[in-house]
Amino acid sequence: MTHTDLDLLFNRRLDFPDHAAAKRLQRLVGLDEVKSRLSKTLGVLVNHHGPQNWAKKHHPNASILLDYLSRRPPLVIFAGDVGTGKTELAELIGDAIARQEDIPITLFPLSLSTRGSGRVGEMTQLLTEAFEVVVQQALRLKGKGSAKTGGAIIMLIDEGDALTQSREATQMHHEDRAGVNAFIRGVDRVAEQHLPVVVILCTNRLSSIDPAVQRRAADIFRFVRR
């Protein structure tokens, strides 16, 4: 496989905690309930040691609950119209999680170039490489025998319906189907290896997202105009 330049896969990388991001996040009004629920969900997904340490202290026999939490898919979906704050919150929530879990968080926003130029197999290769980068970064962060992970990654996919549209559409091109399959394989790989990674998928059209992708979501957050 020919490896693609990192800057072609991801627009930029943002590290949290970050003071400027914290101020921007605070200015997102009307989303307090979503922020609270999202922080709890992401905290569990990116820091598997958190629930384990809590259980040791408060509920030593909570093995069934811990098993359930460890198997939650590392994917959340933000769905709603343009201008409802989905992307802004997705880009900034890493700061709240970093402070909450006391670990560094890095945001990897997937570049639009990941969709490729239409050449057969290109989008599948780019998506596969993007997940490979995230997995390798996460493996370096994954705590081994320590009380907490060494950090976590948020992989952001904006306008996700362009990459994960339903494979049930009769007019869907073979390359698009292969791209959805590559995305699902990437999410499953992160889940199987219990990596400190969460994927945030933003979409304006939840109904167009492939059902298998929706089933893998640990939570779906719906954004409405206020």
136 pLDDT more than 90: yes
Write down the pLDDT at residue 186: 96
Domain that holds residue 145: 9-223
- Count up the domains in the chain and report the number: 1
CATH code at 157? 3.40.50.300
| DSSP reduced 3-state for 207 | helix
Q: Are 200 and 92 in contact (CB under 8 A)?
A: no
> pLDDT, tens digit, for every residue of 193-218?
989 999 999 999 999 999 999 999 99
Residue 164 lies in a domain: yes
69 pLDDT more than 50: yes
Write down the pLDDT at residue 112: 67
Rounded to the nearest angstrom, the gap between the alpha carbon of residue 84 and the centroid of all alpha carbons in its chain is 19
Write down the pLDDT at residue 224: 87
* Helix or strand run (H / E) with residue 220: strand 219-223
Residue 1 lies in a domain: no
Residue 72 lies in a domain: yes
Write down the pLDDT at residue 167: 79
57 pLDDT more than 50: yes
24 pLDDT more than 60: yes
Residue 4 lies in a domain: no
Write down the pLDDT at residue 194: 87
d(CA 113, CA 72): 29
| 223 or 68: which leads in pLDDT | 223
The pTM of this model reads 0.86
> According to DSSP H, which parts of 119-160 are helical?
122-141
- The residue whose two tokens read 């089933």 is 215
Write down the pLDDT at residue 1: 41
Number of H helices, E strands in the chain: 9, 6
Residue 21 lies in a domain: yes
144 pLDDT more than 90: no
Residue 133 lies in a domain: yes
Percent of the residues in the chain that have a pLDDT greater than 70, as a whole number? 77
Least confident of 63-72, 97-106, 108-117: 63-72
Cα–Cα distances in angstroms (integers) from residue 1 to residues 6, 125, 130, 189, 200, in the given order: 14, 8, 13, 19, 26
Residue 3 lies in a domain: no
Write down the pLDDT at residue 104: 95
37 pLDDT more than 80: yes
Residue 2 lies in a domain: no
Tokens representing residue 134 in the block: 């995230």
**Average confidence (pLDDT) over 100-115:** 85
Radius of gyration over every alpha carbon of the chain, rounded to an integer in angstroms: 17
Write down the pLDDT at residue 116: 59
